[in-house]
Amino acid sequence: MPSDTGGNGSLVPFSGDSTAVYPLHHGLASPIRRISISFSCGNSLRLSLFAAASAKIVEVKLSGEDNEISDAHRRRIAYGSVAPFAMLQSRRSSLSALLKTPSPYHSDWWEHVLQYSKEIGSLLGGPKLTPSPIIENPSAIVKGGEEATSLKAAWELIEMFYVDKQSQAWLPERLVDWLADYDSLFTSTHETIHGKLVDFEKELVNIQVIEDDPRYWDLLSSALSVGWLDIVAKMLRLHGSYQLDQLSHREIENGLVEAVALLISQMPHLRPESVGKLGECYKSKPDFIKAWEKWRSQITKLDCSPYWIQCDNQQTREGLRNLLQIMLGNSESLCMATCYWIELYISHFLYIRPFTMGIESMYNLAQKCIQLKPRSSTHRLSGLMIGILEENTEVVLAECSREFGPWLVAHAIELLTAGSEQAEMLLHEERYSLGGISIAELHRLVYAQILSSHALTWQIAPIYLTSCMKQGMGLLENLLYRQSVQHNDVLLKNIEICRLYELDHISSNIMKIAGVYHWKHGRKGAGVFWLQQAQDASCLDRIAQQLFDSVGKSISDENFKQWEGMIELLGSESKPAGGLEFLHKYRDFKKSLQKVSVGKSTDAARQAVGSLILLMKNPSTPQRFWLPLLYDSLKLLNWQDCPLLSVSETNLLLNKLQELSLAKLRPQYTEPSLPSDALSSIRLALAINLGRAILDE
Amino acid sequence: MAVRGIQRFPQNQYVDAVRWLPIESALERLAVVALFDLDSDASSIQIHSLNLNQSSLEPYSSWASPSRISSLKASHFLNKPLIVASTSGGSLHLLFSDSSDASFQSQVSLPEGSLHSVPASSVDLLDGGVQCVTAGEDGKLNLVAISDSNLNYRRLFDSAGLVSYTAVRWASPSEFATAGYGFTLHWWDHRKPGGPVSHFKANWDKKFTSGIVHSIDIHPSRKHTCLAGGSLGTVFAWDLRWQQQPIILSGAGAGSGNNAIQSISESEVWEVQYDRCIKSNTSSTRILPSMICSEDGILGVIEQGEEPIELLAEPCAINSFDIDQHNPTDVICSLEWEAVAILTRQ
């Protein structure tokens, strides 16, 4: 409850100190008598507050924990991931049908998963298409452009460790790239090299002699420690000794800067070629080791060079030699140069243990780095990374779910199980504690529920629900029943989903609901249409009675044209129309009666009598129409040329009159608005016809 | 006919309808987009400027609508672009725009509840923009006379809910056609009030399930033929001269055995328009080629007696489309997943 009303204003007492309290400004005078809470559009809660004399409605927007990605972007990701997800599911089922084994894991299954992972990854944001500036800004150090999100960083991290078998051999180098792309994200929780570089870049214009600034050398060693060679090379070019007017008297100093820059650009990497990046790449391990040893010996040689003594700029001398220490893998220098454990971890891969190793030793190294750089606050990506290195699938899932939400969990499960039988077992095993479903299904259901709760995404929830073996179909039925029937487009989209999943019983129920809804809101034609589509004869019977009530006498007057449309809708007699088929017969009778009134053909009159008898025989003809029907047909009863009704037919009509006179005694009988002598003239006509018919037969 | 290029533009809002703004300009291409923002429950009509070379579709001007747009048309009035929109609240809005800067100049409207009650109504504008006809699911038909300062309307017919109308289209300055439930079509002449002049209800195959017509079109050169698209992928033409015999162009229930007609879609056909791009022999008795979009994500061209051509197969529904009058190779369409796509044909 709003804290601004004070302690005595709260409606619901709460205890415990873990509850987050958000003040709500409603401007009403205390006390609030009643409060009603309902869901509004989107992620909003509608609070209706009632005070003594006034009331107010306040909408509270419930925003996700994550402000990095807007709701619209989140929906775009949801839409985009439907096709890759569905594709992977169908591949899995066709593969398992092919192999006829319970486990669909084929040797190259991970390739399918990798393709899926790349497609999903591309949804999370690629390089931004910003036009490159025509004149390159010489002081721009940090590359911009790409919009990094934690979600994309998490996805790539999972892909790297679980799916991409091809690049397992150069996993450390991939981690180097990963940090280069996403170091900026960690700035939100603690100091990072990226953050320091950005700050320094801003001040660059104010610095006169860059090599005299200690931050310049600090940042150079920092950037080098995490392998951002391009940035280091660019920054070294800013060194004062490169300026034309100084070149002559700082020759040796400049030579040393150049030598270090050259060594940096020759740093060997164990990885396939990387386009446009500094360093030399080696695909095979022996080649790499050879190159690595050669490079290291060159660094040592430079470190022992006599030129250092001749260099009289102390800042340059110390700064450059520190860079050499980094490249030589001096762990103290590395620890000084980096800001937090992941940066330190990466620097260890680069300069201390450049060879690939097993996950277990990677984990031990991580622990060592965490000890060296104790965490004051943990970033969510760091938690995820530890979980992955621990090889603890449950921790990874928990981190994903807690920090990144259900979308990531539902889609990342495919990656986690791609190469590991053990993870596959863990995630797909049915659990009693979860009501008989597996962890994988649970997370899929949770994600589907979130999709279902939004009017723009509910249509994609069925894709996820139908991939859930145990509970999916039940929840799908729930979802379909819950959709509004007010608008035709939503209703038809709903019915289309029923058609796709062969849920005929549901679509027929939805049509019934729609029929009754339209009927109740005065759209009688639409109501009848949907009830007919649902083949609900009993409901049609019931509404037929109401329809005739509301019609009253209008059906017998000239205003019949309005009814044409409805009768047309009822279609041919093969269609179920319930009690409404009366309308059909009545229209036919009216038409033939009209023909009789124009001409004097006995054939037409006989046809009209046929229709009349059919109507009177039919049990669905409402009793209140009997008298008006007979009154309308007086001309037929009094036909000049010959009696049109046979004895039995006349008797039938007389019996109906008799029934009517009995019905008159009942309280609910309503008198049709006909002339007062209507009944007697019908009686007379029938009696005369009976007499003539007897004589004829 | 091949597709030369397709560009998708996310809108971050639900797209209720799209139209090209018919202006003759070599420099600029303008599109009208009706949007609905679910989070703020706000609807708007926006004019977007399209630059295909830079693949940009940028909003130029926007007008806030009181409720969601259920039908949108764009035409001319006194040589100025005119946009007509009917809303799910039953109101009608005419937006006069300036062709030089694509801004909204003035707006006249009939308030909610005057023409139609909920839930949806359809509107069509006579070429030249002097008169509108509106038809609603509430069973009302109205004629609206337009001047640039006010609107006068006349109720032409009220079925009192016994019949619901889902689409309306002018055939001539005095005649128009309406469509509704049960694949019905009605032909009206506003000089003869009191009911439709002619109505069409085919005796479809007994097993054939009925459906709703969502969209109709009438070609200016063939005013006696009404093209209709609706449920179950059904597209048919009704020639007034052969009253009870529909010419089925596509549909799940259409034909059987050897004379089965290939169906382009099995779900709702949301919009149908004659395709101005294909030059057909005008003396031919065949139905002119038409374009459709559907719930199962198909944008395609249907020609009588030919195999249908699929231009676009999206993973989500295509809810509306429009062919550019001046560049008939270009098609704009609205996608269910909050996006607009622009397709260029060869």
Instruction: Indicate yes or no: CB of B181 within 8 angstroms of CB of A569.
Output: yes
Q: For A84-108, how does the pLDDT look when each residue is reduced to its tens digit (9 = 90+)?
A: 999 999 988 888 777 655 555 556 7
CA separation for the pair B63, B12 (Å, rounded): 17
- The answer to whether the CB of A435 falls within 8 A of the CB of A181 is no
> Would the pLDDT of A645 be above 60?
yes
Instruction: Indicate yes or no: CB of A523 within 8 angstroms of CB of B139.
Output: yes
Chain A segment 19-48 residues within 8 A of B by beta carbon are 41-44
Instruction: Indicate yes or no: CB of B184 within 8 angstroms of CB of A569.
Output: yes
Instruction: Indicate yes or no: CB of B206 within 8 angstroms of CB of A522.
Output: no
Q: What is the pLDDT of residue B252?
A: 58
Instruction: Indicate yes or no: CB of A526 within 8 angstroms of CB of B199.
Output: no
Chain A segment 57-86 residues within 8 A of B by beta carbon are 70-73, 75-76, 79, 82-83
A576 pLDDT band, cuts 50/70/90, is low
Compute the 3-state secondary structure of chain A and give helix, strand, coil in percent, each to the nearest 5: 65, 5, 30
Three-state DSSP string of A637-672: HCCCCCCCCCHHHHHHHHHHHHHHHHHCCCCCCCCC
CA separation for the pair A391, A304 (Å, rounded): 44
CA separation for the pair A357, A473 (Å, rounded): 45
Of A22 and A295, which is predicted with more confidence?
A295
User: For A4-13, A17-26, A506-515, A622-631, which range has the lowest pLDDT when averaged over its residues?
Assistant: A4-13
> Would the pLDDT of A561 be above 70?
no
Q: What is the pLDDT of residue A265?
A: 92
Share of chain A above pLDDT 90, in %: 29
**Helix extents (H) in A204-340:** 214-225, 229-236, 251-265, 285-303, 307-310, 314-327, 331-337
> Would the pLDDT of A462 be above 80?
yes
Q: What is the pLDDT of residue A128?
A: 45
pTM, two decimals, is 0.84
Element (H, E) at A357: none
C-alpha distances (whole Å) from A396 to each of A65, A386, A513, A528, B287 are 19, 8, 45, 55, 61
Q: Which two tokens stand for residue A520?
A: 């109740």
Q: What is the pLDDT of residue B203?
A: 61
Q: For A469-482, how does the pLDDT look when each residue is reduced to its tens digit (9 = 90+)?
A: 888 899 999 999 98
Q: For A232-244, how does the pLDDT look when each residue is reduced to its tens digit (9 = 90+)?
A: 998 998 888 888 8
Instruction: Indicate yes or no: CB of B39 within 8 angstroms of CB of A41.
Output: yes
Q: For B60-106, how does the pLDDT look when each residue is reduced to its tens digit (9 = 90+)?
A: 889 999 999 999 999 888 778 889 999 988 899 999 887 677 788 88
Instruction: Indicate yes or no: CB of A496 within 8 angstroms of CB of B14.
Output: no
Q: For A481-500, how does the pLDDT look when each residue is reduced to its tens digit (9 = 90+)?
A: 988 888 888 999 999 999 99
Q: What is the pLDDT of residue A654?
A: 85
Q: Does B305 touch chain A (CB under 8 A)?
A: no
Q: Does A335 touch chain B (CB under 8 A)?
A: no
CA separation for the pair B38, A522 (Å, rounded): 28
Q: For A33-76, how does the pLDDT look when each residue is reduced to its tens digit (9 = 90+)?
A: 888 888 776 567 888 888 877 888 887 777 655 667 888 888 99
- Respond yes or no on whether the N-terminal peptide bond of residue A31 is cis (omega within 30° of 0): yes
Q: What is the pLDDT of residue A18?
A: 56
Q: What is the pLDDT of residue B287?
A: 87
Q: Does B260 touch chain A (CB under 8 A)?
A: no
Q: Which residue of A70, A83, A565 is in closest CB contact with B163? A: A565
A14 pLDDT band, cuts 50/70/90, is low
- The answer to whether the CB of A206 falls within 8 A of the CB of A302 is no
State residue B189 phi and psi, 5-degree precision: -130, 115
Q: Give the residue on B whose Cα is nearest the Cα of A573.
A: B206
Query: Nearest CA to A550 among A581, A574, A572, A519?
Result: A519
Q: Which residues of chain B have pLDDT under 70?
A: 1, 26, 99, 202-208, 243-244, 252-261, 279-284
Q: Which two tokens stand for residue A679?
A: 């009944």
Q: For A302-353, how does the pLDDT look when each residue is reduced to its tens digit (9 = 90+)?
A: 998 888 888 888 888 899 999 999 999 999 999 999 999 999 999 999 999 8
Q: Please tell me the distance in Å from B322's CA to the nearest CA on chain A.
A: 19
Q: What is the pLDDT of residue A132?
A: 42
Of B119 and A518, which is predicted with more confidence?
A518
Q: For A106-118, how does the pLDDT look when each residue is reduced to its tens digit (9 = 90+)?
A: 567 888 899 999 9
Instruction: Indicate yes or no: CB of B295 within 8 angstroms of CB of A496.
Output: yes
Interface test with B, best of A488, A520, A560 (most B CBs within 10 A): A488
In degrees, to the nearest 5, what angle opens at C-alpha A542 toward C-alphas A541 and A544? Answer: 65
Q: What is the pLDDT of residue A6?
A: 42
What single DSSP character describes residue B206? T
- The answer to whether the CB of A254 falls within 8 A of the CB of A283 is no
Instruction: Indicate yes or no: CB of B199 within 8 angstroms of CB of A564.
Output: yes
Q: Give the residue on A whose Cα is nearest the Cα of B231.
A: A492
Instruction: Indicate yes or no: CB of A79 within 8 angstroms of CB of B316.
Output: yes
Q: Please tell me the distance in Å from B200's CA to the nearest CA on chain A.
A: 9
Q: For B245-296, how does the pLDDT look when each residue is reduced to its tens digit (9 = 90+)?
A: 788 888 855 554 445 667 888 899 999 999 977 766 656 678 889 999 999 9
**DSSP β-bridge partners for residue A280:** A268
CA separation for the pair A177, A346 (Å, rounded): 10
Interface test with B, best of A451, A492, A546 (most B CBs within 10 A): A492
Q: What is the mean pLDDT of chain A?
A: 82
In chain A, DSSP finds a helix count (H) and a strand count (E) of: 32, 5
Q: Does B314 touch chain A (CB under 8 A)?
A: no
Side-chain half-sphere CA neighbours of A138 within 13 A = 5
Q: What is the pLDDT of residue B134?
A: 93
Q: What is the pLDDT of residue A101?
A: 56
Q: Which of A128-137, A491-500, A648-657, B283-292 has the highest mean pLDDT?
A: A491-500
- The answer to whether the CB of B138 falls within 8 A of the CB of B117 is yes
